[in-house]
Amino acid sequence: MTIAVTGLNAIDSPGPGVAVIRGLLEAESFSCRIIGLSYESLEPGIYMRDLVSKTYSIPYPSSGMDALMERLQYIHQQEKPDLIIPNFDSELYSFIKLAPRLKKMGIHTFLPTLAQFEERHKVNLPAFGEKYGLSVPRSKAVYTANETLSLDREYGWPLVVKGKYYDASLAYNHEQVKAHFNRISAKWGLPIIIQEFVHGTEYNVTGLGDGEGGVVAAVPMRKQYITDKGKAWGGISIDDKKALALNAQFVRETKWRGPYELELMKDKSGNYFLLEINPRIPAWIYLAVGVGQNIPEALARLAMGWPTDPFTHYEVGKMFVRYSWDMIVDLAAFEQISTKGEL
């Protein structure tokens, strides 16, 4: 197969693309050629020639669906991709809307429905939790910093200040709330979500839903090392029946279609609170591959309509530790992707 993948960046909040590609190339049930889809010329995945055969730049989501579709039609003429796996929250709306048109071109996807994508938004999380019987922290979407002034009396300190797509910071006073509000809104727009802080230990579950309420894959992980942006830089696979039961309830009740990540907080009483639902593969997905559940491979099989058996086990006590290294790249390669949009 020829598979196109986004999310090739590797900043302090890295994209999932490179990890997804590693899983696809290690698939046991098919072989594939990888086409990278990049937004910026310095995304490291562009230059990883052992992983990516060719890369094309694509327009930012803010450019609109027409611009994206025009570019994808050109890429289709050149490469005939069988499948596209988008890996950023901000691009999913466009890919979900374009999925029927892509399918007519012979390009498969396996994404959540638009209704699923919309109702799990951070701004809708309290209603989502109430609808599906899931415990979530109290939160409020705000459009001005002044709207946050009374929330400390209701939620207590610290407060979690979140962007609608990415970014989250703790604030211990109103000045910090205002500073985080201005910084995050300048980058990701409004609204900003102010969330109650739950004291406890952070866990994540990555999984894959078949769209009919069945869990195809699920791997829980406890964060071992967290960056200043709250991203896992190290983690360990765990056997936690409560986390897996919550995951199964989420997939069963929502009939989730596609990959996802649940961000959870376990309080001192052992109760889990659902902090976020990310509607795509997380950057730490290679841990799932390493413990026996190759989610990118299973995702590709579901997208192609091939029979795909659910995973039934995974190895517990396996760690991932993220690292970085320097690649040496010819300036001519950078110039080519920057000017021609292809490499």
Chain centroid offset of residue 4 CA: 16
pLDDT tens, 110-123? Answer: 999 999 999 999 88
The whole-number pLDDT of residue 227 equals: 77
Residue 216 Cα to chain centre, angstroms: 17
Tokens coding 294: 């190759």
Residues in the chain predicted with pLDDT less than 70, given as ranges, are: 229-230
CA separation for the pair 169, 278 (Å, rounded): 17
DSSP string, 152-170: HHHH-SSEEEE-SSS-EEE
Same topology between domain 142-196 and domain 199-321: no
pLDDT score at 229: 67
Number of residues written out for the chain: 343
- Domain regions of the chain by residue span: 2-109+326-339, 142-196, 199-321
pLDDT mean across residues, the chain:
95
Quick one: fold of 142-196?
Dna Ligase; domain 1 (3.30.1490)
CATH number for region 199-321: 3.30.470.20
Predicted pLDDT of residue 168: 87
Sign of CA dihedral 57, 59, 65, 67: negative
The pLDDT score that the predictor gives to residue 12 is 74
Is the CB of residue 198 less than 8 Å from the CB of residue 168?
no
Query: What DSSP string runs through 254-288?
Result: HT-EEEEEEEEEE-TTS-EEEEEEESS--TTHHHH
Model pLDDT for residues 255-286, shown as the tens digit of each residue: 999 999 999 999 988 999 999 999 999 999 99
pLDDT one-digit tens code per residue, 237-256 = 999 999 999 999 999 999 99
297 contact partners, CB below 8 Å, separation of at least 6: 23, 24, 26, 27, 28, 29, 30
Of 146, 321, 341, residue with least CA distance to 236? 321
The pair of structure tokens assigned to 335 is 């110039």
Tell whether domain 2-109+326-339 is in CATH 3.50.50.60.
no
How far is Cα of residue 329 from the mean position of the Cα atoms in its chain?
28
